[in-house]
Copies of this chain bind each other. A is one copy, B any other.
C-alpha cells in the first residue's frame, strides 16, 4: 500500500506524517506552529510542511484534518479556532494545485472517527460512532464503512443534542445540550457557578484561578467530593441518554469514546454510562462502548485514511 501524507491542522500547530492507511503506521514527522495571520499563510505553511516531510514525492495523496466545517468538496466554511478564517476557503483546490497531489479535507473529529474505525477500537464494525469528550463534546459517524459528514459537514455533533429540556445553557447558546453537562468546559462552568453560590467544591479548590483540568476531575472523584460526584452523575446521564438514543436511531453495535475526560476516567466511566437506566432506547443495551485506541495520532492517521478512501 502506498503511503499517504496525513496532516493534522490545529489551532496552534500543524503536524504531518507519512501514513500507511491500511495499518495506521506512520513515519517521518514535521510539526510547525500554525500562523496567526489568516488562511492564506496557514495553507502556505501546510504546503511547506508537506514539502519538508516528503521532498522526494513518495506520496501521491494528502489528507488534511481541520477544526472546522468542511463541505464534501473540501471547502472549509467555518473554522473559528484558526485566526482570521472569516470566509469559506477552498482548501482542497488550493492545496492540490500548490502541491500537485490529490488532496482530501475533512473535519478533525470526523477523521478521528475514521482512524478508530479502520485501525483502532472500531476495526471490524461497518457501523459505529465516536464520541470525544474533551473541552466540548464532538463526534463522528461511520455507516456502511464510510464517513457520514452530512449536508453541511456538521454530522456527528452529538454534543448538541438535547438531553435536559430547558437545562444548562450550552456554549453554542442552546439549552440543555449534552455538552453542557459532559464537556469539561460545561462541568467547569457549573462547578464555578456552584462555588460562587457557596457550594464549595474540590474542583475549584484544585484549579484555583486556572482551568479545571481533566486530571483535577479525576482527583476530585477519588476524594469523594460531593459536588464533583453530582456533576459526574449528570455527565453520565447526559452521555447515556444521547449515546443510547444515537445507538437506537442508527442501530449501532458499538460506540468508541475518547477525549481528555474519557482518557482520565477510563473504562469505569464507560461502564457507568452503559449501565445507566438512561442508556435507553430500542436494542441499545447490546451496543458496546469501547475506549478509543488512537490517541495523539488519530488526526494524521484519519486524514490519511480519508484521502485513501477518496481515491478508491
Q: Which of B146, B174, B250, B281 contacts A160 (CB 8 A)?
A: B281
Partner of A277, one of B127, B161, B175: B175
A177 with B251: CB separation less than 8 A: no
A265 sits at the interface (CB 8 A): no
CA of A251 to CA of B155, assembled, Å = 5
Q: A126–B150 Cα gap in the complex (Å)?
A: 9
Which residue from B174, B242, B244, B248 sits with its C-beta under 8 Å from A280?
Answer: B174
**A241 nearest CB neighbor, chain B only:** B162
What is the total number of residues of chain A having a CB less than 8 Å from a CB of chain B?
A: 48
CB-CB under 8 A for A151 and B245, given A157-B282, A280-B176: no
Contacting pair A278 B143 (CB below 8 A): no
Q: Please, how many angstroms separate the alpha-carbon atoms of A278 and B244 in the complex?
A: 19
The distance in angstroms between the C-alpha atoms of A252 and B249, with both chains bound, is 14
The docked-state distance in angstroms from the alpha carbon of A253 to that of B150 is: 9
Partner of A154 from the list B154, B177, B282 (CB cut-off 8 Å) is B282
A246 on interface, CB distance cutoff 8 Å:
yes
User: Are A165 and B127 in contact, with the CB atoms below 8 A?
Assistant: no
Which residues on B sit within 8 Å (CB–CB) of A250? 141, 148, 150, 155
Assess A246 versus B249: contact at CB under 8 Å? Given A150-B127, A281-B162.
Answer: yes
Q: A126-B151, A165-B237, A237-B165 are in contact. Are A177 and B281 (CB under 8 A)?
A: yes
Contact B282 A165 (CB under 8 A): no
Contact yes or no, B143 A283, CB < 8 A: no
Known: A162-B244, A175-B280. 14 other contacts (CB 8 A): A141-B249, A141-B250, A143-B143, A144-B146, A150-B250, A152-B251, A155-B250, A155-B251, A156-B251, A162-B245, A165-B278, A174-B280, A174-B282, A246-B249
10 contacts between A and B (CB under 8 A): A127-B150, A127-B151, A141-B250, A149-B251, A157-B282, A158-B249, A162-B241, A162-B281, A174-B281, A174-B282
Interfacial residues, chain A to chain B (CB-CB below 8 A): 126-127, 141, 143-144, 146, 148-166, 172, 174-177, 237, 241-242, 244-246, 248-253, 277-278, 280-283
